[in-house]
Structure 1
């Protein structure tokens, strides 16, 4: 029993570390695994293009600019291109390799055009970087893999993602205190939003108008059901349905990446991302406002919300389960690997539990959100090692149920109904909660990144055996303490797209 208790922290922290966690930003690169001839322009260009393609996938998935720079520079250094400058500005990646005073530098550039979130693609690139580091594969083979990763379709069909978005909205409605009817209406409304926005995306509609359309649709079903509640014999709070729809629309935006860039030393990219986030949020607000005015013009008035209006939140166990379910559903909707779903569920459930506990002691929404996000970033980063999942997947999924959709709706309703001060206060609270979530996740990930696997004191004989042989305590064989997934296995087809079942482009 003592041995199992001693091993528990190791099981939580994991023996593996995320790829980004193993890169030291201020230390020289390790010895090149597959050095190339730096006098060969074609070879250097091939390496830079490989590194920049890796960075493009990371940036497209919401990774911060500094982390993207580090991994791009790391991939280049694995092939001996160590003296290179990397600059990531918003959606552009520049890489320039200097080759001394007698030869001109080689420069590569790539613009990242945002696609739908695909965390499986992010995980596949993470594994590719591990292979480059540990197996010393040549640039040509690595190019083949990264090209296949980028060109591969999503790992499962689109209707599965639609069901996941809808399930996320239903869980959020329960998290906010709604009953089964609110959850069903939120589920159906979000399914319609997702399919409609998909059609708009096919014809090239700008994202702002997609967000506006989603906000508009979020109001209509809830208002109609509320107006006919006596005829149907039901009771519904339309504000909860609308808030759930707003959170779903907000969840696809790069909140974590924008604030993380501003904190970690990329202010230009951070400001650009945050401004884009505000514009997209403005689209949601515009759609909701237009729908409310349209409903009032037809004689349908939503319940009045004032600064004293209270929403009966669900009890703590229900909120914990609902938060975990919403996080796991978001991970599915973002095409995460199935191995990441339990970790995402734990992150969401833990965040909801911390917010519920902090709210009980009147910590306030901003402080509660910061504490919860810090723990999600810390514990999620450690648990992500066990699932061989990039920590970003767990962090984004874990804080998604905590996004301030209800505060945004409260602020919008206040501005529309002439309660300007209450509306601006609610909007300020929403911005504060959003920034607190992103900053808390950044802090938690930083601590998780610097926290190495703990060494638990054991019996002297076992400690001496470990020191002499290099074998971890508890092992029955003499295999070394390395990452078996990254070192002992060659490249496989599954490294390109594990679990691929859909050929839709």
Structure 2
């Protein structure tokens, strides 16, 4: 009998609930959660919001913080979020007595629409402030994601053309009025043909090949006919337009914040798209030299000047206006609403002005000048974006566009394919270094802007690193 009592005492001591204080007993069984149907609704709501952000180029840390903010606002405090480049997974812990509920969503389409992103940001602010129920938020999100673009596609085509014309002026074509027009026409042609190829589900790698080949062929054809004094700048402007939609900023943000798998995926896509563009340009150069002969091979690559550097002959106000126009046109082509469109133009003007001052006045190397210029853009954009209640991502990505190394890329390809010079490899490496410096500068600027903000929230402290999208302060809960 004594042995039985001692055995029962051991069992009581091994009982997990018997060793816990009374207030902690509910932790063993799990947190108090809403009913299962509401739980599935909240998880799907967070996943769909994260999908919109991923499709718009937001970093994995932004998507993670956003989903955590949404599920916390609706009473799911113990959720784990796993974000990779092609999928988002959310798992809700329900205690030791019940299995967790896990939801997965695959990110298939990456069509940038900054109006949709801005609307989702506004919805997020209402969710984290407890102003909208889960069911109403789901219906509102469904309306946002199924709504058509705010203006017709031909407006975006004109915006891409305007971006190419602005870049032609920014790169040094202000004295030749034909250059911006030809660059704009070539870019518009590339956009319309790309639109047709996209309808037929042609992979983007081959679309980049076609775009690079068309832009280079148009410029070389106009040069051989005597319509252009410098075909290099026209090709460079079109290359920058084709590079502008890539995830340079998102790749650097993921790498800095520790999301290495997503950073590797973005980098692989960036390299593949760049390889397609390079293949198209080289193909057009090779065919142009074989057909045009001396008329095309007589291009003087050394006359381009320093690769990727803004033309020193232009005055600073012209450079600022051209940079602002470049970024504003990019934002317009990405369907940005008016307020983010204006902020993007300001960011591009600041980036072009700082870069020009550093390279022409202080004689700073183009890679360092680009990093400093985009750091300023990231810092200023990170502050004013929260004040104006617009996504900082719009300012960051648009502000980088005027400084993308299109001229260095074309010069390196020309040296390799036409001149047969091994110095083209070094020039291409300079272009790669410039692109990395631009992305790193934006991320650093956003990180430096965090202590300056007066409304630094709990969530931003938990999710360390720069934030370019999503909520900062999840507060109240509301389910019904």
**Could you say which TM-score interval applies, normalised by the shorter chain?**
0.7 to 0.9
Equivalent residue, structure 2, for 1:12: none
Shifted more, 304-313 versus 332-341: the winner is 304-313
Residue 116 of structure 1 and its aligned partner are, at CA, apart by 2.1
CA distance in 2 between counterparts of 1:330 and 1:309 reads 25
| 1:451-462 correspondence runs (5 A) | 451-453=452-454
| 1:32-431 correspondence runs (5 A) | 38=33, 40-178=35-173, 179-229=176-226, 234-299=227-292, 300-306=295-301, 309-310=304-305, 312-313=311-312, 314-360=314-360, 361-431=362-432
Q: Report if aligned partners of 2:73, 2:130 keep a CA contact under 8 Å in 1.
A: no
CA distance in 2 between counterparts of 1:81 and 1:135 reads 14
Q: Report if aligned partners of 1:169, 1:186 keep a CA contact under 8 Å in 2.
A: yes
Residue 387 of structure 1 and its aligned partner are, at CA, apart by 3.1
Q: Report if aligned partners of 1:260, 1:442 keep a CA contact under 8 Å in 2.
A: yes
Q: Report if aligned partners of 2:182, 2:234 keep a CA contact under 8 Å in 1.
A: yes
CA distance in 2 between counterparts of 1:397 and 1:71 reads 22
CA distance in 2 between counterparts of 1:37 and 1:445 reads 37
Q: Report if aligned partners of 2:69, 2:128 keep a CA contact under 8 Å in 1.
A: no
| Structure having the higher Rg | 2
Aligned length: 418
Deviation digits for residues 93-150 of structure 1, max 9, x if unmatched?
A: 0000001111110100000112321011111110001111224321110110111111
Unaligned runs of 5+ in 1: 1-35, 455-485, 488-505
The TM-score, its normalising length taken from structure 2, stands at 0.84
Structure 2 CA distance for partners of 1:227 and 1:358, relative to 1, 3 Å: same
CA distance in 2 between counterparts of 1:419 and 1:258 reads 32
Residue 421 of structure 1 and its aligned partner are, at CA, apart by 3.0
Residue 307 of structure 1 and its aligned partner are, at CA, apart by 5.4
* Secondary structure of the corresponding residue to residue 253 of structure 2: helix
Structure 2 CA distance for partners of 1:246 and 1:37, relative to 1, 3 Å: same
Residue 284 of structure 1 and its aligned partner are, at CA, apart by 0.7
* Secondary structure of the corresponding residue to residue 129 of structure 2: helix
CA distance in 2 between counterparts of 1:180 and 1:363 reads 30
Residue 420 of structure 1 and its aligned partner are, at CA, apart by 4.2
Deviation digits for residues 261-296 of structure 1, max 9, x if unmatched?
A: 111110111011011101101111111111111112
CA distance in 2 between counterparts of 1:303 and 1:117 reads 40
Unaligned runs of 5+ in 2: 1-30, 456-473, 476-480
CA distance in 1 between counterparts of 2:169 and 2:298 reads 19
Deviation digits for residues 18-63 of structure 1, max 9, x if unmatched?
A: xxxxxxxxxxxxxxxxxx9626222211110001111000111000
Structure 2 CA distance for partners of 1:71 and 1:194, relative to 1, 3 Å: same
Structural RMSD (CA): 1.9
Residue 225 of structure 1 and its aligned partner are, at CA, apart by 1.4
CA distance in 1 between counterparts of 2:370 and 2:245 reads 19
Shifted more, 249-258 versus 132-141: the winner is 132-141
Deviation digits for residues 229-273 of structure 1, max 9, x if unmatched?
A: 1xxxx5521000000000000011111101111111101110110
CA distance in 2 between counterparts of 1:407 and 1:188 reads 22
Q: Report if aligned partners of 1:305, 1:413 keep a CA contact under 8 Å in 2.
A: no
* Secondary structure of the corresponding residue to residue 91 of structure 2: strand
CA distance in 2 between counterparts of 1:345 and 1:89 reads 31
Structure 2 CA distance for partners of 1:346 and 1:302, relative to 1, 3 Å: farther
